[in-house]
Amino acid sequence: MSEDKPIIIQGYQDIPPMTVARGRMSVNDTGSWRNAEPLYIDHTSPCNFHCPAGNDVVKFLRLTAEGKYNQAWLTILKTSPLPGICGRVCPHPCETYCNRGQLGGRIRIHDIERFLADVNIDSKYSLPKIKYPQGKIAVIGAGPAGLSCAWQLNHYGYPVTVFEKHKLAGGILAVGIPRFRLPVEVRKREIGLISQCGTEIVTGVEIGKDITFAEIREKFAAVFIGVGYHHSYSLEIEGENHPDVVPGLSFLKKTALTKPFDLKRQVVVIGGGNTAVDTARTAFRLGAKVTVLYRRTRAEMPAIPDEIDELLEEGIAIEFLTNPVKIHSSQGEITHIECVRMKLGEPDASGRRKPIPIEGTNFKIETEQVFTAIGESADLAFLSDSIKTQRWGISTDEFGRTEVSGLFAGGDASTGEGTVTSAIGSGRKTAIAIKKFLEGEESEKEDLIPPALVNVNSHVVTLENLNLDYFTALKPIEIPCASPQERITSFEEIHRTIDEEQALYEAQRCLSCGSCPKCDNCYIFCPDAAIHRSLEPSKNYIIDIKHCKGCGICAAECPRFCIELRSLMQS
Amino acid sequence: MRKVITGNQAAAWGVRLAKAQVISAYPITPQTTIIEEIAEFIDRGDFSARFIKVESEHSAMSGCIGAAAAGARTFTATSAQGLALMHEMLHWAGSGRLPIVMVNVNRALAPGWTIWCDQNDSLSQRDTGWIQLYCESAQEVLDTVLIAYKLAEKTLIPVMILLDAFFLSHTAESVEIPDQETVDAFLPALDFPYKLDVENPAALFGAALPDIYQEFRFKQQTAFDTVIDELHRIESEYFQRFGRQYGEIESYKCEDADIVLITSGTVTSTAREVIDRRRENGEKIGILKMKLLRPFPTLSLASALKSARKAAVIDRDISPGCGGIWAQEIKASLSDVPESQRPVIFSCIAGLGGRDITTETIEQAIDITIKDDFPAQEIYWLGLK
C-alpha cells in the first residue's frame, strides 16, 4: 500500500469522470464498523498433534504434494533421523486421527514418509563442525531414543558417543524387529547418516561389564540412558523353567544376530503385542507350526492392527481368550501347554476389559516350545542404587532429567511408551534438556512443544472445522504388498515403497487441516479487498484491519480453518 | 447481406458485429431470444466473446460493470422486472461512466403479472445516468446497437436501447446486415482510458466527500450535453458508410402540419399509415417520433413543433398520479418556448400492458385533438373499457 498523499482539488477540471483511487482511501476506514475480527492463524493439524516424534507431518505432506521431496525429507530430519524406519514400523497414530479418514480414507502418511526416505537415498546431508568439543555426552543404548537424542545434540553442536551392548546399533530396530518388516539396509542407511553427522557409535560394549557406569559419568559432561526394554516378563506358571520356554525377544535377537537357535516343529507364542506377532511370524517363516495365545480378544491386542491382519493372512492361528496355566513336559521335552478359557470383565487400569478365567474350561494345546511375549521391562542392573526407578523404569521429570545432576533418561526405559516414534520424541525432548543443562539454562514447558505446534492455535482441527464444500471423498492409494504365499517362504520385506505417482496423489489428498497452503480463497473472497498477499515468507496473508468490516466471509470460505472470526461485541 | 430476422435477432447481430467482448446476462421474456441468439453465435464459433451466466439481473449488470472497468466492450439485455432489479447497478454504470450498451425490451411491470409491452420499465430508469434510445424497426435496432457503442465510448455514458415487446422483439422483417469489415472501420476496438490495469493499480468508484461529489455530477451533466452533437456526428459517419440514419427525433410531415402526433417505438409505424391516409383527405397532420429520452432533445423538439397548433402525445406508460411520462417531458421542455411558437399538448394514454394500439386508436387521438382547442381532460384514456 502506498503512503497516503493528500490530493488537492481546485475544481471539476482536476477530477476524472469517476472516482479513481490510486492509494488507500483514508477518508473511509470501513474497519471502524467492525463487530468481529478475523484472525489469520494456523490451527493444530491432528497428524501433527498425535505424532509422538513431533514431526511436522502436514508440512512434509505439502512439500511432497508440490514434488519437493528433498525439502520434505529435510523437514522430517529436523525432528526424526529415522524416516525410512518409522515409515515402516511406526503404528502411525497420525493416520488414526487423520480427518481424511472420514472422507475417503486416511492419508497413508507412513508410506509417504518411507517414500521420502527412499527417494532421498543419495541426498547429501551434513552438519557443520562440532561447536562445543568440551561438552561431551554419553548415550547408553543405540536404540531410537538414544539415536534421536544424539542426533539433536549433534545439531546443537555437541559431540556424542553412543554405547551399545549388542554388536548391532539400533536397539529393538536391530534385534527385535524382523527383516521382513525392516530390512537391514534401511536401518544401516539411517543410522549411518547419524554417524556421518558426528555421533560416535560404539557397539559391543556393555556398561557395567566392559566399562563401569561410574567411569562413564566421570568422562562425560552428561549421560543419557536409553537402554529400552530387553528384559521379558516371565509367565509365573508351573513348568516355565524348561529350556524350551524362551522369551520371544531372545528368539528374535538370535535370529537377527544369526546366532544358532534350536527352533522346534510346533510352537506356541503367548502374548498380543508386536513382539508376539513378530515372534510368531518369524517362527512360521522358519518352518514351525505356530499358535498364538492371547488372553483377551482381537480388539484389545496391543500389536499394530495391520500386522495382526497380515499374521492371520499368512495362516497363523490365534487362540483368543486363552491363558496358559501350566507347561507339561515328559522325558525332558515339552509335550503340551495347559490353558484356560477367559472371559472379559470390567475395564482395568489400562482401560481394557480385564480377562477372567472361566473355571472348568482347562484344555491342552500340543507344543514342543513356548515363546513368551507378555511384556518387557528395562534391565537397569548396571545403575547404582541411588537412581530412582518407577513402574516403567528410570524416574525422570517431564524433561527427561533424573534427580541426579547431568543424568538423563528417555525412551522405553523411562517412559514405557513402547513405540519407536515415542522413543524418538523422548530422545529429542531430552536433548533440549541436556543442551540447557550444559548451557546453564533452566528447562521450560515450551521445550516440550514440538516445533510444528509452536505459533499455531492449540485447537486440534476436526472435520467439522473444515469447509467441506471444497473437498470430495477421495480413495487412498493401494499399497504394493507381497501375497501371503510369497511372504511366508522368505524374509524379504512385505511392503514395497510406493512410487512417485502414488506419493503425489496421496500427498495431494491431504486436507491440510488448519494449515494454510496459500489457496487464495480469503484473498479472492474478501469483498472489501482487505486481505493482501504478504511479502514476508513466514506469513501468507495480511488482513488490513482498517478496511476489514468483519463480515466473516474469509473465515467461512477458508477451506482449512486458518482464519478464525472473533466477536468484538461486549458480552 | 439481407435477412428476415426479428428485432431481438437484429440486436444480437448488432452485438456480434460490434465485437462485444463480454456478455453478462440473465434470461427474461421477452428479451431471452437476444442472449440465446448470441450464445448460439458463440457456440458456433461465429462470434468470439465471453458469455457470463449470472444469477440475477443485478449480477448481470455487475458483470458488465466489472468487465467494462477492465476495459472490455460489454453487453447485456433485460426486460421489465429484470431492469427494475438492476436499478442500483444502473447508477453504478451511469455515474461510473462506463460505456456499457444494453438492450431493454419494453415490457410492462407486474402486478398484474404480464409479459406484454409498455414502456414504464425503462422510463422509470430515466434518472440513472444512461442515454436512452427508442427503436421502431428491426433495422433500426441493429443500426442503433452499432451507433450506441460508438456514442457510449465517445462520451463515457452507457446506452440503453429500447424495443417494444413482441411488436418489435418478436416480429421478423427484412434487415440489411452490414459486412464486418465496414463495421470494423466504423467501430474500432474499445480503448477505455480509465481501465483497471495491474501495472498501475487503482480502485474505481471509491468515496467522494461533500467537497467533490457535486463536481462529479457536473461533469456527468456536461458529458450529457455533448451527446446530441456526438450522435449527429456518429450518425452522419454511419450514413456515409451504411446509408441509414435516424436522429434524436424524426419529424415526419411536420413542416406544414397543424396537428402533430408525438410517438415513440413501434406505435410510430402504425401512426405513419394513419397520417398518410388522412393527409390524402387534406388534413395537415404530422408525426414526431421521439428516439432519444436522455439527454432530452429539447431544442430539436421545439424547432420541429414550431408551426404546429396542437400536438397529441401517445404514451404507452404512466406515472401514476401524474400522467403520461413522455407528455410530462415534452410539456416541461417546451415551457421556455413562447406560447405562440409551441403547440397545445393533448396527453393520451394507450396500449398499456400490451394492448394493441391499432389505427383506430391513433384515429381517436387525432380526432380528440382536432375537436377542442384546449384539452378538456388532463389525460385522455384511449380505448378504456
Q: Are B259 and B252 in contact (CB under 8 A)?
A: no
Residue type, A372: T
Which residue from A11, A18, A27 is facing B204, i.e. has the nearest CB?
A18
Which residue from A15, A19, A529 is facing B205, i.e. has the nearest CB?
A19
- What is the grid cell recorded at A273? 503385542
Q: What percent of chain A has pLDDT over 70?
A: 98
pLDDT at B160 over 70: yes
Which residue from B194, B209, B211 is facing A18, i.e. has the nearest CB?
B194
Least confident of A24-33, A164-173, B111-120, B233-242: A24-33
Find the residue in B nearest to A18 (Cα).
B96
Which residue from B203, B220, B223 is facing A21, i.e. has the nearest CB?
B203
Find the residue in B nearest to A14 (Cα).
B215
Which residue from B95, B200, B219 is facing A12, i.e. has the nearest CB?
B219
Closest CA to B52 of B80, B76, B79, B28: B76
- Mean pLDDT of all residues in B170-184: 98
Residue contact A22–B201, C-beta within 8 A? yes
Residue contact A9–B215, C-beta within 8 A? yes
A322 vs A344: CA distance, rounded Å: 11
- What is the grid cell recorded at A202? 560404539
Closest CA to A174 of A138, A141, A213: A141
pLDDT mean across residues, chain B: 97
Helix (H), strand (E), coil (C) string for chain B = CEEEEEHHHHHHHHHHHCCCCEEEECCCCCCHHHHHHHHHHHHHCCCCCEEEECCCHHHHHHHHHHHHHCCCCEEEEEEHHHHHHCHHHHHHHHHCCCCCEEEEEECCCCCCCCCCCCCHHHHCCCCCCCEEEECCCHHHHHHHHHHHHHHHHHHCCCEEEEEECCCCCCCEEEEECCCHHHHHHHCCCCCCCCCCCCCCCCEECCCCCCCCHHHHHHHHHHHHHCHHHHHHHHHHHHHHHHCCCCCCEEEECCCCCCEEEEECCCHHHHHHHHHHHHHHCCCCEEEEEECEEECCCHHHHHHHCCCCCEEEEEECCCECCCECHHHHHHHHHHCCCCHHHCCEEEEEECCHHHCCCCHHHHHHHHHHHHHCCCCCCCCEECCCC
User: Cis omega (within 30 of 0) on the bond before B295?
Assistant: yes
Kindly report the nearest CA distance between residue B195 and chain A, in angstroms. 10
Interhelix angle B7-17/B32-44, nearest 10 degrees: 40
User: Cis omega (within 30 of 0) on the bond before A159?
Assistant: no
Residue contact A18–B96, C-beta within 8 A? yes
SS3 A228: coil
Which candidate in B65, B92, B211, B219 is best for mutational testing of the A interface (most A CBs within 10 A)?
A: B219
A9 interaction partners in chain B (CB closer than 8 Å): 211-212, 215
Predicted local confidence at residue A5, as pLDDT = 65
Which candidate in A13, A18, A27 is best for mutational testing of the B interface (most B CBs within 10 A)?
A: A18
Which residue from B97, B200, B209 is facing A17, i.e. has the nearest CB?
B97
- What is the grid cell recorded at A490? 522368505
Q: Where are the beta strands (DSSP E) in A419-486?
A: 457-460
Model confidence, pTM: 0.72
**Cβ-based contacts under 8 A for chains A and B:** 53
Find the residue in B nearest to A16 (Cα).
B216
Residue contact A21–B218, C-beta within 8 A? no
Tens digit of each residue's pLDDT (9 = 90 or more) over A538-562: 789 999 998 899 999 999 999 999 9
Q: Are B29 and B57 in contact (CB under 8 A)?
A: no
Closest CA to A144 of A164, A167, A115, A126: A164
Kindly report the nearest CA distance between residue A19 and chain B, in angstroms. 5
Predicted local confidence at residue A261, as pLDDT = 93
Q: Are A565 and A36 in contact (CB under 8 A)?
A: yes
pLDDT at B47 over 90: yes
B215 interaction partners in chain A (CB closer than 8 Å): 9, 11-12, 15
Residue contact B204–A20, C-beta within 8 A? yes
Closest CA to A117 of A146, A145, A77, A160: A77
Which residue from A17, A22, A27 is facing B207, i.e. has the nearest CB?
A27
SS3 A290: strand
A480 vs B226: CA distance, rounded Å: 77
A471 vs A512: CA distance, rounded Å: 11
Tens digit of each residue's pLDDT (9 = 90 or more) over A241-263: 999 999 999 999 999 988 899 99
Q: What is the interface pTM, i.e. ipTM, of the complex?
A: 0.87
Residue contact A529–B203, C-beta within 8 A? yes
Q: In which residue ranges of chain A is pLDDT below 50?
A: 1-2
Q: What percent of chain B has pLDDT over 70?
A: 100
B203 interaction partners in chain A (CB closer than 8 Å): 20-21, 25, 529
Residue contact B207–A15, C-beta within 8 A? no
Residue contact B207–A16, C-beta within 8 A? no
User: Cis omega (within 30 of 0) on the bond before A243?
Assistant: no
A25 interaction partners in chain B (CB closer than 8 Å): 203, 206-207
B96 interaction partners in chain A (CB closer than 8 Å): 18
Q: Number of C-alpha atoms within 13 angstroms, CB side, residue A453? A: 22
Tens digit of each residue's pLDDT (9 = 90 or more) over B246-259: 999 999 999 999 99
Predicted local confidence at residue A26, as pLDDT = 67
Residue contact B208–A22, C-beta within 8 A? no
Predicted local confidence at residue A2, as pLDDT = 46
Find the residue in B nearest to A10 (Cα).
B212
SS3 A247: strand
Which residue from A17, A22, A28 is facing B207, i.e. has the nearest CB?
A28
Tracing cell 524416574 back to the chain, one arrives at: A395
**Residues of A at the B interface (Cβ-Cβ below 8 Å)?**
9, 11-12, 15-22, 25, 27-28, 529
